[in-house]
Amino acid sequence: MPARQTSTTPTACLALADGTLFFGKGFGAVGEAQAELCFNTAMTGYQEIMTDPSYAGQIVTFTFPHVGNVGVNPEDDETADPVAAGMVVKWDPTEPSSWRAAERLQDWLAKRGRIGIGGIDTRRLTRAIRHQGAPHVALAHDPNGNFDIEALVAKARAFPGLVGVDLAKDVTCVQSYRWDEMRWAWPDGYTRREGAGPKVVAIDYGAKRNILRCLASAGCDVTVLPASATSEDVLALNPDGLFLSNGPGDPAATGAYAVPMIREVMDRSDMPVFGICLGHQMLALALGARTVKMNHGHHGANHPVKDLETGKVEITSMNHGFTVDSQTLPGNVVETHVSLFDGSNCGIRMKDRPVFSVQYHPEASPGPQDSYYLFERFAAAIRARQTSAA
């Protein structure tokens, strides 16, 4: 397939493993990155997407052309630094025009070592991802426009992919910590939770800050533990509930150490359990189901999901390249939510215990409040257990 070049000298090149080349204008950091390429259809939230740990090992193509128009600011980071390896956009990032902007997107990326490429036909690129599956790519930014094309294609082909790779260990916290910051609300912004509340242990497989804020806003006293936490680590805190966070990589690989922990905790305690995204997949694996790699995954903020138990349709935010195979769910587990795009599994619950999870991100507010009830359901299940034990 012939290379596509911009009208000016290109300063960035995106090379796909099949040899397809896209040339454009580079921004952000100078250098190279190899990753899996996905596309995201969200119209807002590029900063949240770039700092979502679930995007480790991926370069994100943004299908919405207006990127950079609100700048970046520290309040919108989902973790300390960008985790996605790079970004691909149709137009060069625009100058920020938001009163909240603290920095230009281009400068923010450069300081944090992340590469961007603009001037790309993102519609053509998205069609290629949909038809061929998420490709392995190499992205290079050189202000002088000097590219070793053969080497870039070779690096794209050498990228090992995400199947069988545990990336949670790379993005999890190093040590445990407490979390009490709640959701943003006008006019005070982020405030702190005060007073007593049910103790929740959150396992960090790559947790987004806004998920932890939602738990705190639901009244939970949150302690975050690393992905490698054992059942002894969890139970030593005497929690009232267990939360399993989002994260990147192959759930089967992370499950090698996460699944035994979840099973042991559930064997030794009847506490409520709630999982999101990778946490949903971890719970499904612990209950006996299997996960599979998707063709190009679900990445966006406009995904309709149907609650099979109420008939309600929620507009959700998604970011996952693996999915739970609903055909492998055991008899004591009910499928609760499905994607209206492709029918893939989006939620499960146990029939006889307050244990449930969803594939999508209820904290991301695309609806905007369609799915927040899940945090309240988790908190209510904890209170119900405390009442019955009193």
Rounded Cα distance between 147 and 196, Å, is 59
296 annotated active-site: no
Rounded Cα distance between 175 and 221, Å, is 17
- Amino acid present at 255: G
Residues 6+ away with beta carbon under 8 Å from 380: none
On the CB side of 349, how many CA atoms lie within 13 Å of its CA?
16
The owner of tokens 């004591």 is 332
Residue 370, beta-bridge partner list: none
CB 316 within 8 Å of CB 304: yes
363 annotated active-site: yes
Rounded Cα distance between 292 and 119, Å, is 34
Residues 6+ away with beta carbon under 8 Å from 232: none
- Assign 200 to helix, strand or coil: strand
Active-site entry in 78, 277, 280, 320: 277
- Assign 263 to helix, strand or coil: helix
Rounded Cα distance between 29 and 109, Å, is 6
In Å, how far from its chain's centre is CA 83?
A: 10
Residue 181, beta-bridge partner list: 192
Rounded Cα distance between 305 and 341, Å, is 8
Rounded Cα distance between 360 and 347, Å, is 8
In the chain, the N- to C-terminal Cα span, in Å, equals 69
Handedness of CA 165, 170, 176, 178 (dihedral sign): negative
Residue 88 dihedral angles phi and psi, to the nearest 5°: -125, 130
Q: Which helix (H) or strand (E) element contains residue 300?
A: strand 290-307
Q: Which helix (H) or strand (E) element contains residue 378?
A: helix 373-389
Q: Which has the closest alpha carbon to 139: 320, 15, 5? A: 15
Task: Report, as residue numbers or ranges, the catalytic residues.
Answer: 277, 361, 363
